[in-house]
Amino acid sequence: MQSANKLPLATLAKHATVFLLVLLWTLPTLGLLISSVRDKDSLTTSGWWTALAPAERNEVFRTPTAEAQTQSGDVFVIEDRLFEEGARTLDTWGQRPTELTANQAGDVVTLDNGTRMTLTEDGQFRWESDEPFELTRGERVFYVSQVPPTFTLNNYEEVLSSEGVGRAFINTLTVTLPATFIPILIAAFAAYALAWMNFPGRLWILAGIVGLLVVPLQISLIPVLRMYTGLSGIFGWEAKSYGGVWLAHTGFGLPLAVYLLRNYMAGLPKEVMESARMDGASHFEVFRTIVLPLSIPALASFAIFQFLWVWNDLLVALVFLGQGEGKTVMTAQLVELLGSRGDNWEILTSGAFITMLVPLVVFVSMQRYFVRGLLAGSVK
C-alpha cells in the first residue's frame, strides 16, 4: 500500500523534471525567435520577455525654428508632431534631461520667456507666444513615451535581401553534404573491420580512436593545416579549396563516427553473420547486404551530428576554405553583415533562424533514426 502511494509521486517528480529540462532548453530558442521579430530600438532597450508589454523610452525632440511659425489671431504658433499618431503615447516631458517627469501630457506649461508649450498624449506639439518667435535653432524637449508591442519582419528581409546570402547558402550546402557523406562512408568500413574482422592491433586501433575523441579541434587545427599546406605544395593542390575543407571535416569527424558505428555493429546478432559466412558470403557481401541495412539508425544518428556541426561551422571553413566569391559560407556571411563594429547586431537573431531551417528539417525528418541510434546496444 505504501509503495502504491509512492508511485504516483515518483511519476509526478519524473514528469516535472522532464518538463523543467525541456523548458530550460526551449527558453533560449523562444527568446531568440521573439527577438528576431522585434525592431532594433526594442532590442536595445528591453529584453525579449517584455515583448508583450509596452516599452518605456526616453527620447528627445527638437522644435522647429521661427520659420515654421504661423499667426492665429494675436498669437504666434509653432506646431509639429513628435511621432506618428497611434505609434506610441506620451507620458511626461521636460526641457532638460533631468526634468523628464516635470510635466504631464496635456499640461500647458508657461516657460521662463513667457511662451506657452503643450505636448499632448498622441504626440502633438504646440508652442504659443504673444510675440513673434525669433528662433534660429530649435529648442530641445525631452519626453518619456510608452511604445506598444510591435513585431516586424524587417530583420528577416534585411538578411534575405543582402548581397551574397543566396550564394553563401549554396556554398554551405556544397561544404556540408560531402563533409557529411565522406566520413560516414569511411567510418562504416572501418567500424565493420573493428567489429567483425580479426587482425593484429585491432584493440590498439580502437583505443587510439577513443583517445582522439578527447582531442579538442582547436588544438589539432594548426598541425592539420600545416600538414595539408605541405601536401598541397607537393601535389599542386589549391591551398584553400572545397577539397581541403571536406578532408578537414572528415578528419575531425571520423573518431566519433568510427566509435559510434563500431559499437552499434558489434551489437548486431552474431548468428546472422555466421550464417552468411557459412553460405559463402565474403566480408564485403556481409557488410553490404546485412550490416549496412541493419545499421541505418546509427548511420542516421551520426549523419545528423555531422550535418549540424559542419553546417554551423565557422572556424574550419575560414581556415581551410577562406572567404570570397564562391567560398563564403553562411556563418561567415552573417559575420560580414554584422559589420566590423557590430552595428547591425540585431540581424543575428533573424540570421540564426534562417540558418537553422535546413538543420531543423534534417533533424525532424531523421528523428526516429536518431533516437534508435542513440539507444543502440543498450537493449538486446
Residues 22-60: pLDDT tens digits? 899 889 888 888 888 888 777 877 788 888 888 888 889
pLDDT at 373: 55
Determine how many CB atoms are found less than 10 A away from the CB of residue 293.
8
Q: Can you tell me the distance from the alpha carbon of 149 to that of 371, in angstroms, rounded to the nearest whole number?
A: 40
pLDDT at 136 over 80: yes
pLDDT at 156 over 70: yes
Mean pLDDT computed over every residue of the chain = 85
Q: Can you tell me the distance from the alpha carbon of 47 to that of 251, in angstroms, rounded to the nearest whole number?
A: 41
pLDDT at 341: 59
> 369 falls in which pLDDT band (50, 70, 90)?
low
pLDDT at 233 over 80: no
Distance separating the N- and C-terminal Cα atoms of the chain? 34
pLDDT at 376 over 60: no
pLDDT at 2 over 60: no
φ/ψ (deg, to 5) at 333? -65, -40
Q: DSSP assignment, residue 133?
A: -
In this structure, are residues 68 and 80 in contact, taking their beta carbons and an 8 Å threshold? Answer: yes
Q: Can you tell me the distance from the alpha carbon of 53 to that of 67, in angstroms, rounded to the nearest whole number?
A: 40
Strands (E), 55-120: 55-62, 70-72, 75-81, 89-94, 103-104, 108-110, 116-119
pLDDT at 128: 93
* Position 244, amino acid: G
In this structure, are residues 183 and 250 in contact, taking their beta carbons and an 8 Å threshold? Answer: yes
> 7 falls in which pLDDT band (50, 70, 90)?
low
| pLDDT tens readout for residues 286-336 | 888 888 888 888 888 888 889 999 999 988 998 888 887 778 899 888 888
Determine how many CB atoms are found less than 10 A away from the CB of residue 95.
16
pLDDT at 121: 92
> 378 falls in which pLDDT band (50, 70, 90)?
very low
Domain assignment of residue 235, yes or no: yes
| Closest to 172 measured CA to CA, from 289, 333, 337 | 333
For 171-225, the DSSP string reads: HHHHHHHHHHHHHHHHHHHHHHHHHH---TTHHHHHHHHHHHTTS-HHHHHHHHH
Q: Give the number of C-alpha atoms closer than 13 A to the C-alpha of residue 168, restricted to the C-beta side.
A: 29
Query: Best-predicted range by mean pLDDT among 25-34, 96-105, 175-184, 354-363?
Result: 175-184
> 171 falls in which pLDDT band (50, 70, 90)?
very high
For 336-348, the DSSP string reads: HHH-TT-TTTTHH
Sign of CA dihedral 204, 209, 213, 215: positive
Average pLDDT for residues 267-284, to the nearest whole number? 84
Average pLDDT for residues 340-355, to the nearest whole number? 77
Looking at the 3D structure of the chain, how many domains does it have?
1
Question: Which CATH number do you get for residue 187?
Answer: 1.10.3720.10
Average pLDDT for residues 237-241, to the nearest whole number? 78
Domain assignment of residue 191, yes or no: yes
Give residues with Cβ within 8 angstroms of 173, minimum separation 6. 358
Domain assignment of residue 135, yes or no: no
Q: At 266, list the grid cell.
A: 558489434
Q: Which domain holds residue 209?
A: 157-374
Q: Can you tell me the distance from the alpha carbon of 59 to that of 44, in angstroms, rounded to the nearest whole number?
A: 14
Q: Where are the alpha helices (DSSP H) in the chain?
A: 2-36, 40-45, 154-160, 165-196, 202-212, 217-235, 242-266, 270-278, 283-286, 292-294, 296-311, 315-320, 330-338, 347-365, 367-374
Determine how many CB atoms are found less than 10 A away from the CB of residue 50.
15
Q: What percent of the chain shows pLDDT beyond 70?
A: 94
pLDDT at 1 over 50: no
How many residues are there in the chain? 380
Q: At 237, list the grid cell.
A: 593542390
| pLDDT tens readout for residues 50-87 | 888 888 888 899 999 989 999 988 899 999 999 888 78
Q: DSSP assignment, residue 84?
A: -
Average pLDDT for residues 348-369, to the nearest whole number? 82
Q: Which of 76-85, 97-106, 124-133, 157-166 has the lowest mean pLDDT?
A: 157-166
| pLDDT tens readout for residues 180-228 | 999 999 999 999 999 888 888 888 988 898 888 888 888 888 888 888 8
Domain assignment of residue 81, yes or no: no
Domain assignment of residue 348, yes or no: yes
Domain assignment of residue 125, yes or no: no
Q: Can you tell me the distance from the alpha carbon of 320 to that of 245, in angstroms, rounded to the nearest whole number?
A: 5
Q: At 135, list the grid cell.
A: 528662433
